[in-house]
Amino acid sequence: MEKISFILHGKIRGKKSVKESLNVRFSADYEVRFYETAYPRHAEKLTDLALSDGCDFLIAVGGDGTLNEMVNGYLKAGGAEKFKTKLGVLPFGTGNDFARGIGIYRNIDQLWDLIELNQPRMLDAGSMQFRLPDGSINLRYFDNIADLGIGGDVVVRVNGVHLRKKILGGKLTFFLSILITFLTYKHKKITVSWEGFKWEGTVLSLVVANGQYFGSGLGIAPEAKLDDGMFEVVIFANLSIMDYLRNYSKLRRAEKIDHPEVFYHRTNQLLVETDGNLIIVEADGEIEGKAPIVYTCLPGALKFLVP
């Protein structure tokens, strides 16, 4: 009997009911195991444990952050046995942007169909090498989008308003958090470079995109593809809050913004440097560290269940 391991965020709404529903749906045909998170980054350790236990399917039940931790645990795990494991997600988070980009919903029947069909696609991941606050070098992975600038500040604000997220929902929480952050945010001076290219200036945000969406449904990178071995790099330079509001509907529709301070590029690796000021680095809704950063695309790194 094949084994399904669920990496379950310990604070999702209706957790008991979700576990019962998954058990009812899958336990007759699969061996089902749950690994429940209890603290930040716990999903990474649980992923390593689930892989050691020999799972055939590894499913994140939570939001973009839970999936990010599972991906980090998977890519850091040793041993060839992990390559038989297929990854998946059942979205229960605030943003669920990776799931949105690949057409996955909070639907157990859809998950059943994907597992039964068992025809995963090889999706890209991204790596980022950067400095921690103590100056040491760290390596992290992301499945969807990494960014620096206002995005990191917004994530800090969103992660601190759990009650409002429950009342307002993900989209409105992110929208209001962006507007509030604009009031105090100061544009950052950075240099972006790769072979044959260099850009220097002040930015509202720099986005390194494997997927199209972030911020609970903002289509920031309309031409990003999860399996082409490339990032879409989006530079939002000297933009104001009014520029953002004027183009908000385009972001919701995942359309390119025609503005002299918005630039779209494609590359598989880039270096981001700063003028020495602290810039928060964010990936898949998780705060990571500070620049300088080297981003690298990892083609076909994730064997993922996709509709």
Cβ atoms of 87 and 302 closer than 8 Å: yes
- If one compares 259 and 214, the residue with the highest pLDDT of the two is 259
According to the model, what pLDDT value does residue 81 have? Answer: 80
- The residues near 60 (Cβ < 8 Å, ≥ 6 apart) are 7, 43, 66, 67, 70, 87, 88, 89, 90
- The residues near 270 (Cβ < 8 Å, ≥ 6 apart) are 192, 193, 194, 208, 231, 233, 294, 295
- The helix (run of H) or strand (run of E) holding residue 15 is helix 15-26
**pTM of the full structure:** 0.89
Q: Are strands 121-131 and 290-304 parallel, antiparallel or unpaired?
A: antiparallel
Six-digit token string for 297: 């695309």
- If one compares 132 and 305, the residue with the highest pLDDT of the two is 305
* Residue 181: band (very low, low, confident or very high) from pLDDT cuts 50, 70, 90: low
According to the model, what pLDDT value does residue 214 have? Answer: 86
Question: What digits encode the pLDDT tens for the residues 50-86?
Answer: 999 999 999 999 999 999 999 999 999 987 788 999 9
Question: Is the N-terminal amide bond of 292 cis, ω within 30° of 0?
Answer: yes
Q: Is 134 helix (H, G, I), strand (E, B) or coil?
A: coil
According to the model, what pLDDT value does residue 149 have? Answer: 79
Cβ atoms of 59 and 30 closer than 8 Å: no
Question: What digits encode the pLDDT tens for the residues 119-173?
Answer: 999 999 999 998 777 778 889 999 999 988 776 666 555 554 443 444 445 556 6
CA distance 210 to 234: 11
Residues of the chain with CATH 3.40.50.10330: 3-119
According to the model, what pLDDT value does residue 278 have? Answer: 63
Cβ atoms of 188 and 202 closer than 8 Å: yes
Lowest mean pLDDT among 83-92, 126-135, 260-269: 126-135
CA distance 136 to 152: 20
Q: Is 73 helix (H, G, I), strand (E, B) or coil?
A: helix
According to the model, what pLDDT value does residue 137 have? Answer: 85
Cβ atoms of 99 and 105 closer than 8 Å: yes
Give the DSSP letter of residue 82. G
According to the model, what pLDDT value does residue 34 have? Answer: 98
Cβ atoms of 88 and 59 closer than 8 Å: yes
Q: Which class would CATH give 3-119?
A: alpha beta
Average pLDDT rounded to a whole number, residues 108-128? 97
Residue 177 has pLDDT above 90, yes or no: no
Six-digit token string for 46: 């649980």
Six-digit token string for 172: 């409105």
Of 180, 22, 16, 14, nearest in space to 112 by CA: 22
Distance, CA of 219 to chain centre: 13
Residue 290 has pLDDT above 90, yes or no: no
The percent of residues in the chain predicted with pLDDT above 90, rounded, is 66
Domain at 125-300: CATH code: 2.60.200.40
> How many other CB atoms sit within 10 Å of the CB of residue 129?
15
Residues of the chain with CATH 2.60.200.40: 125-300
Phi and psi at residue 230, to the nearest 5°? -135, 150
Cβ atoms of 208 and 295 closer than 8 Å: yes
Q: For the chain, list the strands marked E by DSSP.
A: 3-8, 31-36, 57-62, 86-91, 121-131, 137-142, 145-149, 188-194, 197-203, 205-209, 231-236, 262-267, 269-274, 281-283, 286-287, 290-304
